[in-house]
Amino acid sequence: MKFSFKTPVVVFLFLIFILSAFSEGMNEEEYLNIGEIYVVGTPEFDNREIIEEKEFKAMNPVTIDQAIETVPGVDVSVGQKNSYELTLRGISQSKISLMLDGIPLYEPYYYETDLSMVNLSAVSQLSVSKGYASAEYGANTLGGVINMITKESSDTPVLSISASFGNNNTIYSDILTSKSFGKLDILFGLNYGKSDGYSLSKDYEENINEDGDVRENSNFDKLGTTLRFAYHPIENSTIAFSNYYFSGTKGLPWDEEAERDPWRYFNEPRYWDFSEYLKNINALDFNFVFENFQIKEKIYHIKTDNTLDMYVDKDFEELAESDTFDDYTFGHKFGLVLFNENNSEFTMGFAYRKDFHKKIADSFFYDEIEYDEISQEIYTVYAENRAYFFDSNLYIQLGMNYDTLRSRGYKVWMEGDTDIEEADGKPIDSYNPNLLVSWNILEPVTIGTSIQKKTHYPSMNQMANNLDLGLDITELRPESSVNKEVFVQAKFDKYSAKLSVYHYDIKDLIERDDKGEPYFNLQSAVITGSEISVSGKPFEFFSFNLGYSMNNPMSETGEENPGGYMEELPYTPKTTIFVGLNFSYFVDLNLNIRSHQLAYEYFNIAEWGDPDLWVKEEIPAFTVIDLKLQKTFFEHYTAFVIARNLLDVDYYEESYFPAPGLNWQVGFKYEF
């Protein structure tokens, strides 16, 4: 018999059906809302990290990034784009699927998102899947999945108001209200943030492009709203319309040592800012749960409008170029979930997503206008079975997703120009199986293992860059990884602990040698590591959360890379220690201690036309302490004080981009 690519798909579907047929009863249903994909299953067995609202409220975070940074393997930093960005086990946010109620939040061109724009008060749960994720999520989950799940309304009206003020005229405020009216639920939230920028450490030494005090061009002004109408026509079923709106402006801090390049005059240092930053998400959800099956459909449209202004001078007086990004994403996902007589779950479905990017670059410096259009379409079919055996002590999750990417792009220098650089990419297929097995060997102890193949397609930014250089956008192969993990976790009355050991074998990483150079599949990498977390509440007035992560991000340079330079993946946390201490006696005190050791960075110092010459630079390890105090009055009122980087440590998470020093906030909350 001739073997074809369809053969493993058929074999996997057969195995999934066999597994479903012999499974036993499952645990009680966990989710029926529109946010999370799981209907049955628990994080103890499927290896997700779940942070409930009551847990992150105890830490008194102001933004989402502060709520999630305590998870082992998660590192949150202020990036070059003046936004809070994260890595999961050393893998950058552009390779992580970041979602809000199951809707992708990324900006289509770069695959990036500013976490701080999400209304924290509207979020009830954070679901973090690291090396392993359900097949339902499809492609582009190489680094994992983070799903922020918003609250559901209840018969009791809810009102939450929070406001805070900090140094450098920093303001954060949000409001959330919800109420059920019979079969109709309504939820509305509003959040606003504004700042002149963040303060650097007083130990910071003045540099070429940075004089200290308030970080140059780190200001922002952000507004977000959350709106949902949910109708329940029958029991356990929902038809919902949701709107998530984010808008704002922000500066982009520049390289503290960059010197003017005569060939790219307005590019280095980058005197840039976003004069418009807008994202508008509309979604329709249909979720019908019956005795033996569930039907779910999600349709969404995301409009993203950004305007990036580039100036010649740091006073922002002479505009060199203005780039307008007119992007949208349209997608839908249909799922059918079958429950057999033993109450196991078999799910299958298909999904479609189209990302479209249009860029108009109006260069006043070179007196030309450039038009780019790039689009990507991803088609996904998936099947997965989640089942328990042996009195619900053995859990097996087996599935696969089959994805196809179709890309198209063109470039012209004048609107209506017939001299078009056009590329119509051939379909790129990927087949991604997954298997997770976990066993409750003792009442409090579970051990498990997982293996999964993952695929991440080239971003539209990478394709547009190559199109700009006259290259075929189809030359880029998708990045892929085989992620393996073994874990053991235990939960007792007052304590819980977890140990994970993982190995990622990543192929065809897309990189370029320098700015202005084409992207190629230059690298492969192996990331091995381990995570340990212990938490507990030994006394009524004291609880703790300890975490340790160790990463070994080794790069394996491919033959196509002439430099042969990287030993480690840059910007990757190698060792991270987190200590969270919570005291509750008259006032609630939360003390978080974070210690980091980062991988080397690599720089090409060759002059124009010279052979490649790469040097590596070590980023010093650092320890940062955050302090939070809060006091509740009259049951519904809470006052709080937050000091980030309490000891005002001068540190870096990326060379030439100093991290925030001591920054503080005071505020209050009202919850009813």
Mean pLDDT of 428-447: 90
What is the CA angle 560-564-568, rounded to 5? Answer: 115
Helix or strand run (H / E) with residue 19: helix 6-21
Share of the chain above pLDDT 90, in %: 34
pLDDT tens across 151-174, in order? 888 778 889 999 999 999 999 999
User: Which has the closest alpha carbon to 529: 478, 571, 572?
Assistant: 572
Q: What is the pLDDT, as a whole number, of residue 626? A: 92
Residue 484: pLDDT band by 50, 70, 90 thresholds?
A: very high
Please state whether beta strands 293-311 and 319-339 pair in parallel, antiparallel, or not at all (unpaired). antiparallel
User: Which has the closest alpha carbon to 26: 43, 38, 41, 47?
Assistant: 41
293 pLDDT higher than 50: yes
- DSSP 3-state of 300: strand
Longest CA span, the chain: 76
pLDDT tens across 260-276, in order? 554 444 556 788 899 98
Contact indicator for 155, 182 with CB cutoff of 8 Å: no
Return d(Cα 600, Cα 565) in angstroms, integer: 11
Q: Which two structure tokens, joined as six digits, stand for 124?
A: 């009830």
Please state whether beta strands 637-644 and 663-671 pair in parallel, antiparallel, or not at all (unpaired). antiparallel
Lowest mean pLDDT among 287-301, 305-319, 352-366: 352-366
Lowest mean pLDDT among 253-267, 366-380, 559-573: 559-573
Contact indicator for 132, 99 with CB cutoff of 8 Å: no
Task: State the Cα torsion 112-118-123-128 to the nearest 10°.
Answer: 20
Strands (E), 53-157: 74-78, 84-88, 91-92, 97-100, 103-104, 123-129, 145-150
Residue 572: pLDDT band by 50, 70, 90 thresholds?
A: confident
Q: Find which of 65-69, 109-113, 245-249, 559-563 is predicted with most confidence, using mean pLDDT.
A: 245-249
What is the CA angle 142-148-149, rounded to 5? Answer: 130
**CATH class of this structure's domain 6-671:** mainly beta
Lowest mean pLDDT among 356-360, 365-369, 446-450: 365-369
359 pLDDT higher than 80: yes
Number of residues in the chain: 672
Residue 368: pLDDT band by 50, 70, 90 thresholds?
A: low
Mean pLDDT of 396-410: 87
Amino acid at 298: K
Return d(Cα 641, Cα 653) in angstroms, integer: 26
Q: What is the pLDDT, as a whole number, of residue 374? A: 83
Helix or strand run (H / E) with residue 582: strand 573-585
Q: What is the pLDDT, as a whole number, of residue 382? A: 95
What is the CA angle 339-344-349, rounded to 5? Answer: 60
For the chain, domain boundaries: 6-671
513 pLDDT higher than 80: no
Q: Which two structure tokens, joined as six digits, stand for 325?
A: 């990004």
- DSSP 3-state of 466: helix
Contact indicator for 412, 419 with CB cutoff of 8 Å: yes
Rounded to two decimals, what is the model's pTM?
A: 0.88
Three-class DSSP labels, 359-384: EEEEECCCCEEEEEEEEEEEEEEEEE
* Torsion sign over Cα 45, 129, 566, 578: negative
Mean pLDDT of 82-108: 84
User: Which has the closest alpha carbon to 88: 449, 573, 503?
Assistant: 573
Residue 330: pLDDT band by 50, 70, 90 thresholds?
A: very high
Q: What is the pLDDT, as a whole number, of residue 281? A: 95
What are the counts of helices (DSSP H) followed by strands (DSSP E) for the chain?
A: 5, 33
Return d(Cα 352, Cα 334) in angstroms, integer: 9
Asked if the peptide bond before residue 427 counts as cis, ω within 30 degrees of 0, the response is no
pLDDT tens across 607-642, in order? 544 555 556 677 888 999 999 998 888 888 989 999
Q: Which two structure tokens, joined as six digits, stand for 33?
A: 């809302």
**C-alpha distance from residue 632 to each of 171, 172, 587, 636, 639 (Å):** 21, 19, 8, 7, 7
Residue 214: pLDDT band by 50, 70, 90 thresholds?
A: very high
DSSP 403-448: EEEEEEEEEESSTT-S--EEEEPPPEEEEEEEEEEEE--SSSEEEE
Q: Which two structure tokens, joined as six digits, stand for 260?
A: 């003017």
Q: What is the pLDDT, as a whole number, of residue 226? A: 93
For residue 530, list its beta bridge partners.
Answer: 501, 550
Q: What is the pLDDT, as a whole number, of residue 559? A: 45
The 49-52 sheet, strands edge to edge: 49-52, 123-129, 145-150, 97-100, 103-104
Q: Which class for 245: exposed (0-12), middle (13-18), buried (19 or more C-beta within 10 A)?
A: middle
Please state whether beta strands 573-585 and 587-598 pair in parallel, antiparallel, or not at all (unpaired). antiparallel
313 pLDDT higher than 90: no
Please state whether beta strands 428-439 and 158-166 pair in parallel, antiparallel, or not at all (unpaired). unpaired
